[in-house]
Structure 1
Amino acid sequence: MPHYTSYDAAELHYRVVGPRDGAATPPLVCLAGGPGRDAAYLGDLGGLDRHRPLIIPDSRGTGASPAPADPAGYAFPSLAEDLEALRRHLGLERFALLAHSSGAATAQAYAAGYGEHLTHLVIVCPGSRLQGELPDDAEKIFESRATEEWWPDAYVAAHGLAQATDIDEVRDLLRRAAPLAYGRWDAPQRAHAAAEGAQLGPVPRAGFWQGVDEPARRALLERLRHVECPVLVITGDLDAVTGMRAGELVAASFPHGRSQPLHGVGHYPWVDEPDMFRPVVEQFLAAP
């Protein structure tokens, strides 16, 4: 697996999915969410690798990347510095970036500090913790699906997660609550969800949001107002994890941001509707 040296001399790993020949479309760097989840869950992002390489880093303490010597290395501003080290390693003056879920916080920190290196930014199903708002539409989406067979057990599990502290308990609750993250609960969704427990890194998850106080959050948002690249925020109208309103708030943080909802998809659009998700991203990346 290829690796690069980050700001603190750590050797971090990444993988390349898709074509590697010189004639291929420029690469798309892809950040996983979780937080602290093994990036393997991104797969090929619904076939986005057909025409361009996907460069998918393992964040610290996940996949093949080691834990940081300093726990502050798990925090998303530090992960943004890892991304900048990866850019330099790859020799990319400018590049397109895609981030899913909590990976959007790392992407926003990167855009705030290094936005001049981005040609396009795609954010998929983000939360809006950085924006300082926690909309309740995800809960309403969840409640609207109460007639589905999986719903009662998922409801109990989802509302137990806030109090769970033991990692085995968290994994069990995530397994039971998993259907709420998808637009439907068919074989592809079940297979994708089944891997989540083993992919979850409890320490990276716990450290992701540490050390970012209110002044730092506000300063980051102010810098986003000066990011020049186009930003597309994709949401799913059946996403009972982060909902749709959070994506609208994230898009509004950028001067050239827009949100695009997809019908019939949840928190993982490339799993629910890959043939809907893929063209939306490809068309956006092809635009100047």
Structure 2
Amino acid sequence: MPTFSAPDGTVLTYHVTGEGPPLLCLPGGPMQDSVYLGDLGGLTAHRTLIRLDLRGTGHSTVPRDPASYRCDRQVGDVEALRAELGLERVDLLGHSAGANLAVLYAARHPERVGQLALVTPSVFAVGLDITAEDRLETARLRRDEPWFAPAYASLEAVTSGRAAPADRDAVAPFWFGRWDDEAREFRMAEQRQRNDEAAALYASEGAFESEGTRADLAAVTAPVLVLAGEYDVAAPVRVMKEYAGLFPHADLVVQSGAGHFPWRDGPEGFVTALAAFRDQLVAGPPGT
């Protein structure tokens, strides 16, 4: 597996799979092994996926300074990988918490971004508000599922701030378009793949200056795709519309029947949306 050195000397690993124009993929978690992204539902038939193992995750080494797990301090890792790959501009995909890192990179290096795909993104970096009702309204779309009643009761507890430890596991079905044995196995693997120490520091004090970031994103001229899942309680559609509005050239795609991992819930729809977005890049952003 190829490696490169981060600005502080930490040795980081990345994985290259697929054919077509390169797409640098930043995993969520936060701080989860990038292996969970897989082939992004078959996107490898259209793009060469470059999955970065963030510092201290996957096959990347643990940094000397744990404070470097903070999201904004990892922007330099992304820039170092772009230089390692010899790309003048890089196409970026950030999933969930990885979208925070992707948008901080775009805000700091707008001239280096060819396109930006934000898949069910976390909103910490841009300071948008997701209300309890946003999440509960999205959850009620699943009211006919056999697991709904106890999972919804736990979600109410979580969103009201009175959750017991068991409630956070009980809401897991809402993260997936289908809650089946495959989803359960995926959920269990998440626990093993995450660096908990790093995750606790990812959004620590000083990581996000959302007002300044939003102002910087208004100057990002690259095409942007915000891809939301219809059923995703982590990134509800109302807020994803607001997120797309932060950019001059952004499209919102809501994938029907999808939760927080849309390439798993509907691979064909996911790949179609990303392939169409690539075509937009070739044609150029609106007004060019």
TM-score by length of 1: 0.88
Instruction: State the Cα deviation string for residues 172-196 of structure 1 (Å, max 9, x = none).
Output: 7655332111122234433322311
Task: Provide closer, same or farther for how the CA distance between residues 40 and 164 of structure 1 changes in structure 2, counting only shifts above 3 A.
Answer: farther
Report the equivalent of 1:10. Answer: 10
Structure 1 gap segments, 5+ residues each? 20-24
Among 142, 161, 166, the alignment partner of 1:145 is: 142
Partner of 1:22: none
Q: Is the 8 A contact 1:175 1:197 kept in 2?
A: no
Match of 1:133 among 128, 133, 138: 128
2:285 — aligned with what?
none
Specify every segment of 5 or more residues in structure 2 that has no aligned partner in the other structure, as ranges: 283-288
| Secondary structure, aligned partner of 2:142 | coil
Paired residue total: 277
Out of 102, 105, 124, the position equivalent to 1:107 is 102
Query: 2: CA distance between counterparts of 1:94 and 1:213?
Result: 25
1:238 aligns with 2:231: yes
Q: Deviations over 1:205-243 (max 9, x none)?
A: 1111113277x3222221111111000100011112221
> 1:195 matched to which residue of 2?
189
Instruction: Name the structure 1 match of 2:267.
Output: 274
Partner residue, 1:265: 258
C-alpha distance in 2 between matches for 1:114 and 1:156? 43
For residue 115 of structure 2, give the secondary structure of its aligned residue in structure 1. strand
* Paired position in structure 1 for 2:218: 225
Greater than 3 Å deviation, 4+ residue runs = 155-165, 172-176
| CA apart distance, 1:254 | 1.1
1:132/1:18 Cα in 2 relative to 1: closer, same or farther (>3 Å)?
same
| Residue in 2 that maps onto 1:26 | 21
Of 53, 57, 62, the match for 2:57: 62
Which of residues 79, 83, 86 in structure 2 aligns to 1:88? Answer: 83
Structure 1 residue identity aligned to 2:142: R
TM-score by length of 2: 0.88
Q: Is the Cα contact below 8 Å between 2:127 and 2:211 reproduced in 1?
A: no
Give 1:124's aligned amino acid.
Answer: V
Does the 8 Å CA contact 1:175/1:194 hold for their aligned counterparts?
A: no
Kindly indicate whether residue 165 of structure 2 is the aligned counterpart of residue 176 of structure 1.
no
Q: Distance in 1 between matches of 2:230 and 2:141?
A: 11
For 1:127 and 1:156, how far apart are their aligned partners in 2?
23
